[in-house]
Structure 1
Amino acid sequence: MKLFKAAVLTIMLAVTPFASMAQEHSQAKFIPDAAKLGSLIDILKDDALRQQLIGELEQLQKAKSDSEVGNTKPAETEASRTTQPTAEEDAVISGGLFTGISSWLGDLGHRLPTAALGAPIDVKVLQAEAQVNRRLDAPGAIENLKGFMLRSALGWAAITALALIIFAFAKRRIRARVGKTASNKVVIREVVIRAFLAVVPFLVFIAVASFWPGLWNYSEVGAKIFVVLSVPFAIAITTSGLVSSFLVFLARSKGWRLVAYAQRRLSPLVGILIGIATAGSIAVSPDIRSAAGPATSDILSLILDIAVPAFAMLIIVLHRRTVRSLIVRGHSNDSERSAYDRAIFWVGTHWQHFGFAFAVLNIGARIFGTQSGSFLAQSSLSVAVIVLAFMAVTSIRRFEAKREAAANRRLRIGVRAEVLRRLSSILYRAIQVALVLIASVLCLRFWGIDVAGWLSTSAGISVVGPVSSIVLVMLIAWTLWVALDAWITAALSESQVGGGFQQRSARIRTLLPLLRNVAFVVLSVLTVIGVLANLGINVAPLIAGAGVVGLAVGFGSQQLVQDVITGLFILLEDTLAIGDVIDTGDRAGTVEALTIRTVKIRDGDGALHTIPFSTVKALKNSSRGFGVYTVGVMLDQRADVGKALEVLKEVGDEVRRDPKYAASIIAPLDIWGVDQVGPDGILIKGAIKTRPLQQYGVGREINRKMNFRLQELGIPLANRNVGWLPPGPELT
């Protein structure tokens, strides 16, 4: 029965890559690989195994027919059941991101034990043990194996000795070094000679490996196995020589010292890596599978396939600096360099990270049974895609930088231009992210991970759906915030009036920052709610709890709420703004800062007062509209009042014509006339209207000029000093 299960499992693996993918994509076509076909062929070639398999299949057919008797469910119902998602799948899809990831990981864990070898590892080991024991139990099998290994060891030793002789001869025929001053002709000649001398051992290997079995009377199968086992060693030696040869191309740009070090230390390791990869491919060849058994071949192939990326990680650890120097030297990340040059520099700087990532991807793909190519080919294609993607992203960044520089050279950017500039920046970021995602999908495709196919499954939908919703919510919030922030920034900037620039009003400079803060808080809260909902967290209790907490806080902080509401109305009505001179009744000064709850004013002594809005019952603002200065002059009772009024009018006109005060005066001096007559003198008054807070300077200038003119014309001012009077006759 174990044989029957193994055969059925082999047939299933030959038809589909995954059992779950077969259920969801029953119409998809899959081409089985040579290893699975070879395992099936081995079973069918053995007469005893084939007859046993046929008998067990007949029993299965009979049991299946008996189970289908009495099944009256219509075919349409069965079809609809298999095509429509189940209630469990609907729950997973609508359960949020956490539920989708949990379901996906559970599916991976369920598929993992049989993904790499087509059966659980313990079952595969038992099968391999049985196959090896069956072959060793054959008459004369052990003696034949010992003879084969002895003769083959002698052959491989002869091949190795011949290879060493060829290498010793080759070293005498090549130049010791190639300097930076060598011409292209010399470099090409050296590379060709070295490459030819590196290929010669491979040809000798193949010739000797083909000649050796005939010399020792190998069987047909033994001769094939000997040749097949000789290929990895031959390819490893040849690859090491070819890598060492092609490194000569870098001698002029990287320096011969670095190239020679790489030839001595790096080239042999690369050859060993290629040899292990070749051995992994050969392990599933029909000859090896027939000699060692299908299960043994599968286990050996898995071990070698995992050894390739593991050995690659060892090379990365040992020679990450050497490879980085070979890639980076001669390139730069300067912004003036080309996109290709910067891409090469970036890849060289981070090549060890890519190497580790590729190794982990290869191991994961092999364990999950999705490996579709060799490690080196997949790595090369992935690096090419990454370089192209980085070049595209770099080009977009350079284009964006040029547009930013052109925009910064403008003296002022309008609101519309600023908003478009910010939104175009978001568009550039989205294009860059899209390029990175496309490159990632292509790289994963090279490693046998079908992202597009996975997205159409219930597990893919349950993961990608919430992630897409989260990204969309964050993108919308970011776009709204960027547009609002750009509009507020442009609105707060100086406005161009005539040939100069004018500051925005104090009300705008006060309210717009508050509006920006409120918008940021609102967008942040909505974004957090959207993200939590897509993560599968029920936000209704959170919102209800937040409402209860807000109600409790509102009752406990009524004074705070009163401050906020009063401050909101004061700011909306434009009662005061930063820079205004105000008087609240008990405090007066200049407004330095405004919040939604308090106003900060600095008095004449330099003290800063923080006043809650709820305590402001009446407010006097001296910085709005205009200012009025009242001019009063107390004349002596004997003074010429008419002449004094004319002088006051002349002084007002003179001050108005003065360039220093002309811009501050709104209306000419209004002469009121004689305001008071008393024992102290005659009081004449007038008033002049100025711009806010400019009345005091204008009034001081009028008083100065008025005093000078009155003294010049001899018009006496009232003298309130009462002197001693002598006693009258009635007192004597």
Structure 2
Amino acid sequence: MLGINVMWRDLRQGMLCLLLLCLIPAAQAVSPPAAVASQQAQKPADDAATHEPTVEEKKAAWLALATILENDESRQALIKQLRDAAASPAATDEPVLTPPNAAKKKEEKTVLESVTDITRQYGGQFAGSLTHLYHNIISAPHNAFNKATFFNALSHFSMLAVALFTFYWTIRTIAIPLYQRMGRWGRKKSNQPCSFLRLPLAIIGAFVIDLLLLALALFVGQMLSNNLNADNRTIAQQQGLFLNAFALVEFFKAVLRLIFCPRFPDLRPFAINDTRAHYWNTRLGWLSGVIGYGLMVVVPIVSNRVNEQTGALVNVVIMGLMTGWALWLIFHNRRIIQRELNALAERSLSFFALFIRAFAFVWHWVASAYFIVLFFFSIFDPGNSLKFMMSATLNSLIIIGLGAEVSGILTRWINKTITLSPELRRNYPELQNRVNGWIWFMLKAARILTVFAVLLLLLNAWHLFDLWYWLTAGAGERLVDVLIRVFMILLFSVVGWTLLASLIESRLSSDIHGRPMPSARTRTLLTLFRNALAVVISTITIMILLSEIGVNIAPLLAGAGALGLAVSFGSQTLVKDIITGIFIQFENGMNTGDLVTIGPLTGTVERMSIRSVGVRQDTGAYHIIPWSSITTFANFVRGIGSFVANYDVDRSENSDSANAALRSAVDELMAREDIRDFIIGEPNFAGLVGLTERAFTVRVSITTQPLKQWTVRFALDELVKKHFDAAGIKAPRQTVQVVPPGGENNDAAASLPAPE
């Protein structure tokens, strides 16, 4: 028999080493090169036997073994090989284990099959727990009841409980004046801006004092337990159970006092009246006390001192009664709490109001599910269920509180704006609005991420989701990496666009701050450049973001190229418009506000885009003219304006008198203050420039500022008429030639003045 044991021990060691060495290449999912394999095959047997696997080899072997055990087929194959190896005769050669094909991928399952597998898994666990509970109740052994031992333990237990509760009640009573003073201090001037932290500090300070008193009571309770256990190990264990339950239950009651604070309204963080606060604090306190002491003290003692059947029955009775009472409290106060939550939503910020109203609609179902889950946990795992539920509840409250605080801070920051210095606002007019817009967007995104993080932390607190594994080894690590890269890309794009757009808008700003007005050409070019820059930055950013989140942008780029080629053939006129418009702008041909003549149209330029120009005629008609249709145009505001005034005089008048009257009219025009500033230089008199059989023409040329030639011309015409009338200079009269019938004798024709 000893030889068989030694042989089996050697066989197990050999199989373990062989399994570790065989699993390493299987975990790598690739075969080693032939040269390396042949070299390993040529090693001496002694070296292979004495080879100690490295840490990396061990880790790889463990990973491969876990992969094999995870797969049903490979696990069954390994078990079969091990059984065959154990059943082999001693005289045969050492058995060789062939690692199963663990790298074989599982067959893809549909969503319905995955849901069915999960349901079967948890259903099987639930059925197994019920079966285990049934066997505990039916077939557990029965312990003999010792009356003397029971009453001895009960007396020592009772003395500890009475002494501990008396001491804890005494020190909390002594601390009442301190709580009252802290409440008055917190409420005093709490509405003033500089004192808004007084009340939160007072509430947190009261809670810390409550925990310190609990710690002192536990310390005293431990000392009392050391002196009141009669040197009996069983009594000491029972008293230890009581102290653990006391710590857990009283800590939960301290949290309830933090929330409701029934005896000190000044330290109450929520707007709850005294009656409701006392109602819920009392009932939740009794509920937690009965459940805590029942599961953590009564049930273990009954199970150990009587039998497990009785302990399980006591557990079911206690939790059944408490669960029923909790459900009755929930549905009895369902509408009252719903109204109070809706009233709280009316007083809250709009962001929190949405969640509060949603919680008010389903709160009773959430609370019912909480106590039902606690009921089943306490049945299947009485020793750890309450600790888990209390820990998960406390973590949930902390997570929700911190999340609400962070979200509240972000919400208050969202409603605020940043005010830049007057100098920055003067140099960069749109910078403040743009910065506030981006900050508003980032705060909104941060608030959404906060809500998402709170949900993940809540799932992790209830062990429904392994957050830390997801962040370090699962898809969460890749998601966080992608989010960081996306944030950095957006940050650089936003900063670059903000700086460049601010610089452009600084050049486009008007002269209301004492800076010179940019020319119309500069405004047009900078506006076009800003629009083009926005399109380029947006396109590049979108492409990079799509690439970062895993979208293959190569087909997009190829498709965009093909689409651009197709569009270029179908939009030649559009391309021609754009190119012509760019060159006209660079040549400073026209700008917004110029008076131009384009073909038969004369009007003012109101709008210029990259494709067309908009012209408004003096009749009010608005024309959109594509750049490509403009071959020639006239601009009346380039440099100067001028006009040539010709005046016809009757041939019978004296030319010198006519020229003198014209000069007198021009001199009077030059003397007018409202006209003189429009005239550049001196008028140019050409004298007599035309002669006909009925009249002669005198001329004067005047150079003016752009678009002022018509104003000067109209004023001159008025003055010329005035001076010609005063000098008696007449305009030419139209004559009619009368031809006698027949028309042969031209000498008989007579010229008569036309009738007036």
Alpha carbons 1:651, 1:706 under 8 Å: kept: yes
- Inter-partner Cα distance in structure 1 for 2:254 and 2:747: 144
- Inter-partner Cα distance in structure 2 for 1:361 and 1:577: 72
Matched, 1:464 2:464: no
Distance 1:554 1:438, change over 3 A: closer
Matched, 1:67 2:16: yes
* Matched-pair identity in %: 21
1:390-439 Cα offsets, whole Å, 9 max, x none, are 565467567x53x43x66xx599334475477457746875886698689
Matched, 1:414 2:426: yes
Map 1:235-246 → 2, pairs under 5 A: 246=261
- Inter-partner Cα distance in structure 2 for 1:371 and 1:702: 102
Correspondence for 2:543? 529
Letter of the aligned partner of 1:67 in structure 2?
A: L
- Inter-partner Cα distance in structure 2 for 1:120 and 1:184: 50
- Inter-partner Cα distance in structure 1 for 2:689 and 2:303: 125
Alpha carbons 2:249, 2:292 under 8 Å: kept: no
Correspondence for 2:44? none
Letter of the aligned partner of 1:673 in structure 2?
A: G
Q: Which has the higher contact order (CA 8 A, sep 6+)?
A: 1
- Inter-partner Cα distance in structure 2 for 1:115 and 1:287: 37
Map 1:88-167 → 2, pairs under 5 A: 122-123=124-125, 125-126=127-128, 129-130=131-132, 132-133=134-135, 136-138=138-140, 140=142
- Inter-partner Cα distance in structure 2 for 1:664 and 1:122: 100
Specify the structure having the higher radius of gyration (Cα): 2
Distance 1:621 1:344, change over 3 A: closer
CA drift at 1:582: 2.2
| Alignment equivalent of 1:260, drawn from 275, 299, 317 | 275
1:641-689 Cα offsets, whole Å, 9 max, x none, are 4454454345334434433334433333222332223323222212222
CA drift at 1:640: 4.3
Partner SS, residue 599 of structure 2: coil
- Inter-partner Cα distance in structure 1 for 2:622 and 2:341: 61
Alpha carbons 2:669, 2:675 under 8 Å: kept: yes
Alpha carbons 1:584, 1:618 under 8 Å: kept: yes
CA drift at 1:61: 11
Distance 1:476 1:319, change over 3 A: farther
Letter of the aligned partner of 1:122 in structure 2?
A: G
Letter of the aligned partner of 1:588 in structure 2?
A: T
Correspondence for 2:394? 377
Correspondence for 2:574? 560
Distance 1:317 1:540, change over 3 A: farther
Distance 1:243 1:661, change over 3 A: same
CA drift at 1:726: 13
Partner SS, residue 673 of structure 1: strand
Distance 1:235 1:143, change over 3 A: same
Distance 1:653 1:276, change over 3 A: farther
Alpha carbons 2:680, 2:705 under 8 Å: kept: yes
1:193-213 Cα offsets, whole Å, 9 max, x none, are xx9xxx9xxxxxx9xxx9xxx
TM-score, length basis structure 2: 0.57
Gap runs ≥5 in structure 1: 1-57, 89-102, 153-181, 186-190, 200-205, 211-218, 334-341
Correspondence for 2:698? 684
Correspondence for 1:480? 496
Alpha carbons 1:652, 1:702 under 8 Å: kept: yes
- Inter-partner Cα distance in structure 2 for 1:615 and 1:184: 78
1:348-375 Cα offsets, whole Å, 9 max, x none, are 8898699899999999x999x9979624
Alpha carbons 1:656, 1:662 under 8 Å: kept: yes
- Inter-partner Cα distance in structure 2 for 1:670 and 1:608: 38
CA drift at 1:702: 0.7
CA drift at 1:332: 7.8
Map 1:200-219 → 2, pairs under 5 A: none
Distance 1:612 1:244, change over 3 A: closer
Distance 1:233 1:269, change over 3 A: farther
Matched, 1:580 2:599: no
Letter of the aligned partner of 1:648 in structure 2?
A: L
Distance 1:136 1:452, change over 3 A: closer
Map 1:9-408 → 2, pairs under 5 A: 63=12, 66-69=15-18, 71=21, 75=54, 78=57, 122-123=124-125, 125-126=127-128, 129-130=131-132, 132-133=134-135, 136-138=138-140, 140=142, 246-247=261-262, 249-250=264-265, 258-261=273-276, 263-264=278-279, 266-267=280-281, 270-271=284-285, 274=288, 278=292, 282=296, 318=335, 320-321=337-338, 323-324=340-341, 374-386=391-403, 388-390=405-407, 392-393=409-410, 401=417, 403-404=418-419
| Alignment equivalent of 1:632, drawn from 632, 635, 646 | 646
Correspondence for 1:495? 511
Matched, 1:713 2:727: yes
Distance 1:428 1:255, change over 3 A: closer
Distance 1:493 1:256, change over 3 A: closer
Alpha carbons 1:628, 1:695 under 8 Å: kept: yes
Distance 1:570 1:248, change over 3 A: farther
Alpha carbons 1:474, 1:527 under 8 Å: kept: yes
Matched, 1:598 2:612: yes
Alpha carbons 1:594, 1:600 under 8 Å: kept: yes
- Inter-partner Cα distance in structure 2 for 1:375 and 1:564: 65
CA drift at 1:520: 2.8
Correspondence for 1:215? none
- Inter-partner Cα distance in structure 1 for 2:564 and 2:474: 40
Distance 1:256 1:490, change over 3 A: closer
Say what the alpha-carbon RMSD is for the aligned residues. 6.5
- Inter-partner Cα distance in structure 2 for 1:730 and 1:75: 139
CA drift at 1:546: 1.5
CA drift at 1:272: 6.9
Alpha carbons 2:338, 2:361 under 8 Å: kept: no
- Inter-partner Cα distance in structure 1 for 2:591 and 2:716: 30
- Inter-partner Cα distance in structure 1 for 2:331 and 2:127: 28
CA drift at 1:551: 0.7
Letter of the aligned partner of 1:469 in structure 2?
A: R
Alpha carbons 1:422, 1:483 under 8 Å: kept: no
CA drift at 1:544: 0.4
CA drift at 1:700: 0.5
